[in-house]
């Protein structure tokens, strides 16, 4: 009896202390996590800039790639073409699928849940698997060879679940009041979705597209087997749409090849600077667009 009351008393005096200690610990962990994140990013950027910027020579930007100048222009064009084509395919399909799942399919239906789980699973699959799949389907079965088209389709498949899931979340976050307002005025579902729902989901959808863009620009594994590594700008001038069947390399692949060859490490760093700038620039552009959209819709 006595020992019990004593332990209870000591417990009550120790508890706040312990609570304070654990909150201190948690706060310490949070700060440590933040510090590691910021320092990693900072040192990575500084490292790349220090090693790369001095080697940003004019010859790197000459139009034609040769073994001497290791020009990155074809790869830069390749990155833009590849990511652009992949998003051109994946965004309409992904957003369309999300619109169907949220606005048209019966809420809480088994089918919707199934598609959602599938998309989540696909998001977790390593990109090299997409590469193998793309090689079997686009390169071999469809006979497109190592090409811009095969690469872009593979990337599109890879980012489709990302775009679909983020668009779905963005649509789910739109208040039902907008839908009711549209329907209440006699508008049909299409008009209600297009004019009342999509505009307020647009910033969220755009965030998903930016995420997908980042993955396209950074992807190597899925492209090695599907787009190849030829350092040329696809020839749309000479062969028109057949340029889609030309092999090309993106900046990330270019970087990988340069490092792999081991002959042009300085140029590899310079390429990394350009890739970093490209990603940062496109991100800034997208967030400016999202801000503008938000301002248009919120203020």
Partner 1 sequence: MMTLLRERVACSLAERLDQAPHPVARSADAGCPGSRGAARAKMAVDGLDLWYGDYHALRDVSLEFPEHQVTALIGPSGCGKSTLLKSLNRMNDLVEGCRLEGTVSLDGHDAYRSVSVADLRRRVGMVFQQPNPFPMSIYDNVAFGPRTHGVRRRDELDEVVERSLRAAAIWDELKDRLKKNALGLSGGQQQRLCIARALAVRPEVLLMDESTSALDPLSTAKIEELVGELRRDYTVIMVTHNMLQALRVSDRTAFFLGGEVVEAGPTDGLFTSPVDPRTADYVAGRFG
Least gap, CB of 104 to partner 1 (angstroms): 12
Closer residue to partner 1 in complex, CB, 198/216: 198
Question: Min. distance of Cβ 115 from partner 1 in angstroms?
Answer: 18
The beta-carbon contacts of 198-201 under 8 Å, at least 24 apart in sequence, are 198/99, 198/171, 199/293, 199/296, 199/297, 200/174, 200/297, 201/167, 201/170, 201/171, 201/173, 201/174
What long-range pairs does 204-207 form, CB within 8 A, spacing at least 24? 204/166, 204/167, 204/169, 204/170, 204/173, 205/95, 205/98, 205/163, 205/166, 205/167, 205/170, 206/286, 206/289, 206/290, 206/293, 207/166, 207/170, 207/286, 207/290
Task: Give the shortest CB-101-to-partner 1 separation in angstroms.
Answer: 15
Contact 209, 91 (CB under 8 A): yes
CB of 177 to partner 1, least distance (A): 4
Q: Which is nearer to partner 1, 167 or 251 (CB)?
A: 167
**CB 186 to partner 1: min, Å:** 4
For partner 1, the closer of residues 78 and 182 by Cβ is 182
Q: Which is nearer to partner 1, 178 or 269 (CB)?
A: 178
Which is closer to partner 1, CB of 37 or CB of 109?
Answer: 109
Task: Output the smallest distance, CB 206 to partner 1, in A.
Answer: 15
Shortest reach from residue 242's CB to partner 1, in Å: 43
Residues forming the site for partner 1 (CB under 8 A): 106-107, 175, 177-188, 191, 195-196, 199-200, 296-299
Q: Which is nearer to partner 1, 108 or 262 (CB)?
A: 108
Looking at the Cβ atoms of 33 and 181, the one nearer to partner 1 is 181
């Amino acid at each position: 009896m006595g020992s019990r009351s004593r332990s209870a008393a000591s417990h009550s005096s120790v508890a706040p202390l312990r609570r304070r200690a654990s909150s201190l610990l948690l706060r310490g962990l949070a700060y440590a996590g933040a510090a590691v994140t910021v320092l990693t990013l900072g040192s990575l950027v500084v490292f790349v800039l220090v090693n790369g910027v001095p080697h940003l020579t004019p010859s790197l930007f000459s139009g034609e790639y040769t073994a001497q100048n290791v020009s990155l222009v074809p790869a830069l064009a390749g990155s833009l073409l590849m990511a652009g084509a992949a998003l051109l395919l994946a965004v309409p399909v992904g957003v369309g699928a999300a619109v169907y799942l949220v606005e048209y399919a019966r809420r809480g239906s088994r089918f919707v849940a199934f598609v959602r789980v599938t998309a989540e699973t696909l998001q977790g699959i390593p990109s090299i698997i997409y590469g193998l799949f793309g090689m079997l389907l686009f390169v071999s079965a469809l006979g497109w060879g190592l090409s811009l088209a095969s690469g872009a389709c593979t990337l599109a498949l890879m980012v489709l679940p990302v775009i679909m899931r983020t668009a779905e979340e963005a649509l789910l976050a739109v208040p039902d009041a907008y839908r009711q307002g549209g329907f209440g005025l006699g508008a049909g579902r299409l008009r209600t979705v297009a004019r009342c729902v999509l505009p307020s989901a647009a910033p969220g959808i755009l965030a998903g597209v930016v995420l997908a863009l980042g993955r396209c620009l950074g992807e190597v594994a899925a492209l090695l087997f599907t787009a190849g590594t030829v350092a040329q700008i696809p020839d749309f001038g000479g062969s028109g749409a057949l340029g889609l069947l030309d092999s090309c390399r993106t900046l990330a692949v270019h970087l990988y090849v340069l490092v792999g060859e081991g002959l042009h490490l300085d140029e590899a760093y310079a390429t990394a600077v350009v890739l970093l700038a490209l990603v940062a620039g496109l991100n800034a552009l997208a967030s400016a667009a999202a801000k503008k959209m938000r301002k248009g819709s919120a203020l």
